[in-house]
Amino acid sequence: MKFVGLVGANYDQSYNRKLLEFIRRHFKIKFELEVLEIDEVPMFNQDEKWDENFQLRLLNNKITRADGVIIATPEHNHTISAALKSVLEWLSFEVHPFENKPVMIVGASYYDQGTSRAQVHLRKILEAPGVNAYTLPGNEFLLGKAKEAFDLEGNITNEGTINFLEQCLDNFIQYVGVVSKLKKPKPIEPEDLDCNNPIATTVTEVDPDDPEWVEKVAEITGAVSGDTYVKLDHGILTVNQIDMFLKAMPFELTYADDNNQFLYYNNAHQDPDTMFAKRVPPQSGSRMSTVHGSLPPARMKNVEWVIGTLRNGNQEYVRTIVPGSPEGVINTHNYQAMYYDDGSYAGINEIVFNFKPWLDWYLEQLVNALSEEAVLLHQLQLVMAVATPHLVHQMRVVHRWRRSPSRRCNIWSILILRLGKVGTTVLTFFQWSS
């Protein structure tokens, strides 16, 4: 599951930020948590446009796509902070990302009572018309004396507090699973598959369906090639290295932007007939209506549905298996949404591959693991059948030795010595099996 955590304060030394960061690190096996800030959101003013603020666009997009939201609220004058209240006003006026969204409330405060009164107020706000969130009932996590609650690394020091927090989070995970069945997807508007709405990166000088689109656009834009270095998010590669990297992927990869223009596929196949999703060089740059032009109208509606579903954030990905594949092939298509920095829709990354070899490998490993477990259990039963009577006797001997005040020795060392071969066998078994 993917959750977002909303820091309910806009100051740097927020213990509620510390709380969310601790949740993100400590419970990363249970779910993925992205912590979001509200420090650059202006005071709510209905005369101004919400989408002119980058952080508001980001919050709206991230919350819309998240499986659930965790809000960490401080308590200011017996209620939530002005900054958090303003954010909730913005996100319930023209856009409504919290609608039917599971929300959990936590809070940290300097005082003993935690943020109990602020949490009560926040629950009422989240249930208001225009917000319409599904707030997890009960399970109030109130972290009092926040200054003493964390160590220097930002970890909660009290084990009982961590266990209670985990219990609350486990309940929230279950709650999300139940509430998700009540989620109503946003209605899908008709998709323009003819690329009639150019975006910032659209090259308008060349017709998208021109079979020489790549060459002509490369000349117009001065596109780099060969051994020219490209600075990426976490690395520097040449264009040739990027090409090799993408072609080496054990998948067929394609990319269409948010103007529904088909821009790229990793052309590693000499013969399109060997591909699970046939692509040819002249298709690069084409309109999606052209790429899928041979499909009947009913199938084109499916194309629109996939794009619209990803664009609206109703789903982050769509997966399907193409029926009628030959024997030994499970033709799997994964359509993954891509996003700009503000979280808005940036297009589709399609991954196509034969899932059958992956499935066969997994099942083979599973069978081998289960077989090994069966052998281990059988060996343990044999060892314990031999060792148990001897072990009971020797434990009695050790107990008598331990009661002697003149003996100052390691009880386990004595036990192993007295067990002899049986003890060695048991220890060897457990060391090997672990």
Residues 122 and 18 in one domain: yes
**Residue 188 belongs to a domain:** no
414 has a pLDDT exceeding 50? no
Q: How confident is the model at residue 408 (pLDDT cuts 50, 70, 90)?
A: very low
Residue 232 gets which letter from DSSP?
E
The 8 Å CB, 24+ separation contacts for 339-347 are 339/61, 341/58, 342/54, 342/57, 342/58, 342/61, 343/57, 343/58, 343/60, 343/61, 343/62, 343/65, 344/57, 344/61, 345/258, 345/310, 345/311, 345/313, 346/257, 346/258, 347/255, 347/256, 347/257, 347/258
The residue that leads in pLDDT, 148 or 425, is: 148
Where b means 16+ CB within 10 Å and e means fewer, 294-329 reads: eeeeeebeebbebbbbbbbbbeeebeeeeeeeeeee
pLDDT, tens digit (0-9, with 9 covering 90-100), for 5-39? 999 999 988 999 999 999 999 999 999 999 999 99
Question: What does the alpha-carbon distance between residue 117 and residue 135 come to, in Å, rounded to a whole number?
Answer: 16
Residues 6 and 70 in one domain: yes
Residues in contact with 303: Cβ distance below 8 Å, sequence separation at least 6, in sequence order:
191, 193, 288, 292, 295
Other beta carbons within 10 angstroms of residue 17's beta carbon come to 21
The residue that leads in pLDDT, 398 or 266, is: 266
User: What's residue 399's pLDDT?
Assistant: 52
User: What's residue 389's pLDDT?
Assistant: 62
Residues in contact with 115: Cβ distance below 8 Å, sequence separation at least 6, in sequence order:
73, 74, 75, 107, 108, 109, 142
Question: What does the alpha-carbon distance between residue 102 and residue 31 come to, in Å, rounded to a whole number?
Answer: 14
Residues in contact with 368: Cβ distance below 8 Å, sequence separation at least 6, in sequence order:
none
User: What's residue 415's pLDDT?
Assistant: 46
Find the DSSP H helices in 180-326.
213-221, 239-247, 288-291, 297-312
Report whether 354 contacts 276 (CB < 8 A).
Answer: yes
Residue 263 φ/ψ, nearest 5 degrees? -100, -25
Residues in contact with 32: Cβ distance below 8 Å, sequence separation at least 6, in sequence order:
1, 2, 3
Residues 49 and 144 in one domain: yes
First to last CA, the chain: 30
Number of domains in the chain: 3
pLDDT, tens digit (0-9, with 9 covering 90-100), for 78-133? 899 999 999 999 999 999 999 999 999 999 998 877 899 999 999 999 999 999 99
User: What's residue 404's pLDDT?
Assistant: 53
**Residue 85 belongs to a domain:** yes
Residues 136 and 168 in one domain: yes
On the 0-12 / 13-18 / 19+ scale of CB atoms within 10 A, 429 is middle
Question: What does the alpha-carbon distance between residue 305 and residue 361 come to, in Å, rounded to a whole number?
Answer: 33
Other beta carbons within 10 angstroms of residue 283's beta carbon come to 19
Counting residues of the chain whose pLDDT is more than 70, the rounded percentage is 88
Please compute, for residue 270, the number of CA atoms within 13 A of its CA located in the half-sphere on the CB side: 0
Residues 332 and 413 in one domain: no
User: What's residue 367's pLDDT?
Assistant: 83
Residues 323 and 367 in one domain: no
**Residue 239 belongs to a domain:** yes
Residues 66 and 173 in one domain: yes
Residues 381 and 343 in one domain: no
CATH (domain of 16): 3.40.50.360
User: What's residue 303's pLDDT?
Assistant: 93
pLDDT, tens digit (0-9, with 9 covering 90-100), for 128-180? 999 999 999 988 899 999 999 999 999 999 999 999 999 999 999 999 999 98
353 has a pLDDT exceeding 90? yes
Residues in contact with 250: Cβ distance below 8 Å, sequence separation at least 6, in sequence order:
353
**Residue 187 belongs to a domain:** no
Residue 255 gets which letter from DSSP?
E
**Residue 193 belongs to a domain:** no
Residue 264 φ/ψ, nearest 5 degrees? -160, 145
Structural element, H or E, at residue 421? helix 421-433
Other beta carbons within 10 angstroms of residue 1's beta carbon come to 15
The whole-chain average pLDDT of the chain stands at 88
CATH (domain of 288): 3.30.450.20
Residues 155 and 285 in one domain: no
Token duo for residue 327 = 């024997």
Question: Of 330, 354, 378, which one is at a domain's C-terminal end?
Answer: 354
Question: Of 159, 182, 205, which one is at a domain's C-terminal end?
Answer: 182
Residues 35 and 172 in one domain: yes
Q: Which residue from 264, 245, 244, 242 is spatially nearest to 254, judged by alpha carbons?
A: 264
398 has a pLDDT exceeding 60? no
**Residue 206 belongs to a domain:** no
Question: What does the alpha-carbon distance between residue 99 and residue 373 come to, in Å, rounded to a whole number?
Answer: 48
Determine the residue type at 369. A
Please compute, for residue 404, the number of CA atoms within 13 A of its CA located in the half-sphere on the CB side: 10
**Residue 273 belongs to a domain:** yes
Question: Of 182, 198, 227, which one is at a domain's C-terminal end?
Answer: 182
> Which residue's structure tokens are 């083979």?
364
Token duo for residue 20 = 């969310």
Asked which of 35-39, 223-227, 346-350, 362-366 is least confident by mean pLDDT, the reply is 362-366
**Residue 80 belongs to a domain:** yes
Residues 22 and 124 in one domain: yes
Q: What is the mean pLDDT of residues 285-289?
A: 95
User: What's residue 104's pLDDT?
Assistant: 97
Q: Which residue from 115, 1, 131, 6 is spatially nearest to 59, judged by alpha carbons?
A: 6
Give the range of the structural domain holding residue 160, as residue numbers without chain letter: 2-182
Residues 30 and 175 in one domain: yes
Q: How confident is the model at residue 366 (pLDDT cuts 50, 70, 90)?
A: confident
Can you give the C-alpha Rg of the chain in angstroms? Answer: 30
328 has a pLDDT exceeding 70? yes
